[in-house]
Amino acid sequence: MREFYTFPNLLSLTRVGLGAMAALWIVSGSRAYLIGAAVLVALGELTDFLDGYLARRSGSTSEFGKSLDATCDAIFHLSIFLALLVVGWMPWWAAVAIYAAEITLPYLRSFSKQLGAVATSQALDAARSAAHGLTQIAVVLIVFFRGSLFSVSGIEVVPVVFTLDVLVTLAALAANIGPLVKAYRTQDRM
């Protein structure tokens, strides 16, 4: 139980609260809260970086801490995506793709671990998390500064932003599926 009460784990837990508050501010309908929501998302991304950095630096990394970080990160991002979907700023297809990947990834990692496969590329997972945060900040700021979703030369910007996020998310999902399939085939031959 001692490994629960570390500063990096407390940082991870604060991300859940930041995500909930940002989501509430997004759905409030008040433009005044949008900048605050963008700041909260940025703070959440900062805690995501700092918790891992501080855990490694202080030698307090643990399997529990890694799981807590991943869980808090998913709750943080998915709560904000839900708010963006509710207010109509997130396309439904992006929500389906991102939610499906975020729900599937922990199971893929668990199966991979059982088969002894290296399940994930940490770089792609970091890119996925960063893409989520950048997408969320960009959409909130676009709406704040433009007053609505906007287009440039006839191309709607927000769907392009979500498309890039979905592509990074799918790449991270594929990076987790590949080693799992390879390990499964190897075990099947034995």
Q: Where do the structural domains in the chain lie, given as residue ranges? A: 2-189
pLDDT at 1 over 70: no
Domain spanning 2-189: CATH superfamily = CDP-alcohol phosphotransferase transmembrane (TM) domain (1.20.120.1760)
Tell me the per-residue pLDDT of 48-102, one tens digit each, with 9 for 90 and over. Answer: 999 989 988 988 888 888 889 989 999 999 999 999 999 999 999 999 999 999 9
- Segment 35-48 mean pLDDT: 94
Alpha helices (H) along 6-62: 7-27, 31-58
Please answer whether residues 111 and 23 qualify as being in contact, where contact means their C-beta atoms are separated by less than 8 angstroms: no
Please answer whether residues 84 and 135 qualify as being in contact, where contact means their C-beta atoms are separated by less than 8 angstroms: no
Instruction: Return left, alpha or beta for 147; rule: phi > 0 is left, psi -120 to 50 is alpha, else beta.
Output: left
The top-scoring range by mean pLDDT among 22-26, 47-51, 102-106 is: 22-26
Say what the pLDDT of residue 121 is. 67
